[in-house]
Structure formats: structure tokens, C-alpha cells
Amino acid sequence: MEPITGRALILAASAIGAGLAMIAGIGPGIGQGYAAGKGAEGVGRQPEAQGDIVRTMLLGAAVAETTGIYGLIIALILLFANPLVGLL
Amino acid sequence: MESTNFIMRFLNWLMTFDRKALILAASAIGAGLAMIAGIGPGVGQGYAAGKGAEAVGVNPKSSKQTTMVMLLGAAVAETSGILALVVALILLFGNPLVNLEGAAIVIAASAIGAGFSMIAGIGPGIGQGYAAGKGTEAVGRRPKYQPGIVRAMFLGQAVAQTTGIYALIISLVLMFANPLLRLL
């Protein structure tokens, strides 16, 4: 078995870190689902306002998506443009 | 190399194992981690089921219609659980990592990372289940407007799925197109 180099250790930790970063996806998933639920409720109560209800729902869902995108960006940086190995 | 550093001692202990054994052990942990995502669909579909029961209680006449909307919404909420299951099955039965060249520790960590990533599936599972529950409730109250309600529900559920898809992409990249091994 080959000994672990410092570079390999950093890359291994980066792989685990990329996975951990994606756990952030829990939040937007729950939040957007709540928005979708309230949207469906609203359309049921006021069907003639469907267009407005869906627009507001999608706007709010887009804001809720941001933290998920942040997590994705960090994971992609760790995988494809790892700044840590260069610091070694 | 005698070291008092706990992490170095742990890693040195890991390196006493066969290379393949290390990667396969990490794959086992990764498969387990991926399945934690099952929490999401479980909670979400349970909520939808509760709302379905409630809606049928309020309006027994439209029970068939309510049940159908509940099942439709719950089926969407199941997606993240299925995606996590697929990743776990890939790690167990079609492991792409065992035969890779490169440092074993990076490959093993990639297997664990691929599993961690899929935990994000909790979110879409719970959220889509909530949407399914509310959709069921609304259809139970006003069955006439089922098409509009179901459309809004599906649209919102599709948006809620996005982060689960991101997690799946990261997981697949770690398993099948690992960019870290090229950096070694």
C-alpha cells in the first residue's frame, strides 16, 4: 500500500467536502415544496388568480434556490478548480 | 512512521489495508449515507397521506379524486428516494471506483462523498410531500378545480426537485468522472 502524500490527503478531503456541501440541498427542497403546497392551496381557493399565484410562487422559489446554488458552486469548485492543492 | 497525530495514525492504519478493501469499505459507507435521503420522502409522503385522510373526511364524495391526487403527488415525492437508491445500488453492484488508478485514499473518499451528496434528497422529499398534501387538501375542498391545482402542484414540485438533481450530478461526477484523480 502506497503511503499517503499531502496532496492525496487534500484531494480526499475535497471529495468528502464536496459531498457535504451538497447536503445544503435539503433546505431549498423543503422550502420550495412548502411554497408549491401553498401555491396549490391558493389556486384551489382562488382559481381565477392562478397566473398571479404561480408567478409569486416561482419568484419566491427562485430566492429559496440560492443557497442550493451556493452549495453546488462550492462542490464544483472543490472538484474542478480546487484552490487548496495549489496552496501546498 | 510513528506519529502522535491522531489523524495521521488513523490514515496510516487505513493504509495497512489492501487498496481494494479500503475502496470497497468506503463504498459500503457511501451506500449507507446515500440512503439517509429516504428520510425526506418518508416524512413528505406521510404528510400527504395525512392530508388525504383529512380531505376524504371533510368531503367523502370526492374520495376517489382526492386519493388520485395524493398518489400523484406522493409519486413525485418518491423521486429523491429512488435517486439515492440508484446511487447506493451503483456503489454496491456496479462500483466504478474499485478498478480506478490513483491514490486509494482519494477514491475511497470519493465513494463517501458521493453518498454524503445524496443526503440532500431529504429536502425535495419533504417539500414535494408537503406540496402533495396541500394539493390533496385543495382538491378535496374544491374538486372542480383539480386541473389548475394539480398544475400548480407539479410546477412547484419540479422546482423543489432541482437541488436533488444537483446532488445527483455531484455524486455521479465523483463516481464516474472524478476530476480529483487528475490533480494527483
pLDDT tens digits along B38-63: 999 999 999 999 999 999 998 899 99
Cell numbers at A46, concatenated: 382562488
Global confidence as pTM: 0.87
pLDDT given at position A88: 76
CB contact under 8 A, A22 and B170: yes
Asked if pLDDT for residue B12 goes beyond 90, the answer is no
Q: For residues B149 and A43, is the Cβ–Cβ distance under 8 A?
A: yes
d(CA B81, CA B98): 25
Closest by Cα among A53, A61, A58 to B123: A61
Q: Which residue has the higher pLDDT, A35 or A86?
A: A35
Does a structural domain hold residue B142?
yes
Closest by Cα among A75, A30, A6, A25 to B183: A6
CB contact under 8 A, A40 and B135: yes
Cell numbers at B37, concatenated: 435521503
Asked if pLDDT for residue B1 goes beyond 60, the answer is no
* Tens-place pLDDT, residues B116-159: 999 999 999 999 999 999 999 999 999 999 999 999 999 999 99
d(CA A46, CA B41): 29
Does a structural domain hold residue B183?
no
ipTM of the complex: 0.76
Partner residue opposite A19 with nearest CB, options B104, B114, B122: B114
% residues pLDDT > 70 (chain B): 98
Closest by Cα among B173, B39, B37 to B118: B37
pLDDT band at A70 (very low <50, low <70, confident <90, very high): very high
Cell numbers at B152, concatenated: 400548480
% residues pLDDT > 90 (chain A): 75
Cell numbers at B114, concatenated: 458521493
Does a structural domain hold residue B6?
no
A28 CB neighbours in chain B (<8 A) are: 123, 160, 162-163
Q: What Å distances lie between residue B163 and B103, B121, B127, B133, CA to CA? A: 30, 8, 11, 21
d(CA A57, CA A52): 8
Does a structural domain hold residue B16?
no
pLDDT given at position B4: 75
Q: What Å distances lie between residue B180 and A13, A80, B32, CA to CA? A: 10, 7, 23
For B139, name the nearest residue in chain A, comparing CA atoms only. Answer: A44
| B3-13 average pLDDT score | 84
Interface test mutation site (partner B, options A9, A22, A63, A82, max chain B beta carbons within 10 A): A22
Interface test mutation site (partner A, options B22, B35, B76, B166, max chain A beta carbons within 10 A): B166
d(CA B130, CA B125): 9
Question: CA geometry: angle at B162 spanning A55 and B122, to 5°?
Answer: 115
Does an H or E element contain B61, and which?
A: none
pLDDT band at A1 (very low <50, low <70, confident <90, very high): low
Does a structural domain hold residue B59?
yes
d(CA B35, CA B38): 6
Rounded mean pLDDT of chain A?
A: 90
Does a structural domain hold residue B60?
yes
Cell numbers at A31, concatenated: 422550502
> Does the beta carbon of A58 lie under 8 angstroms from any beta carbon of chain B?
yes
> Does the beta carbon of A59 lie under 8 angstroms from any beta carbon of chain B?
no
B102 backbone dihedrals φ, ψ, rounded to 5°: 125, 180
pLDDT given at position B15: 87
Rounded mean pLDDT of chain B?
A: 93
pLDDT given at position B2: 59
State how far Cα A44 lies from the chain centre. Answer: 30
Asked if pLDDT for residue B76 goes beyond 70, the answer is yes
Does a structural domain hold residue B1?
no
Does a structural domain hold residue B5?
no
Number of domain units in chain B: 1
d(CA A12, CA A69): 23
DSSP string, B93-151: HS-SSTT--S-HHHHHHHHHHHHHHHGGGHHHHHHHHHHHHHHHHHHHH-GGGHHHHHH
pLDDT band at A87 (very low <50, low <70, confident <90, very high): confident
| Residue-number span of the structural domain to which B133 is assigned | 21-178
CATH number of residue B125's parent domain:
1.20.120.610
> Does the beta carbon of A76 lie under 8 angstroms from any beta carbon of chain B?
yes
| A17-36 average pLDDT score | 93
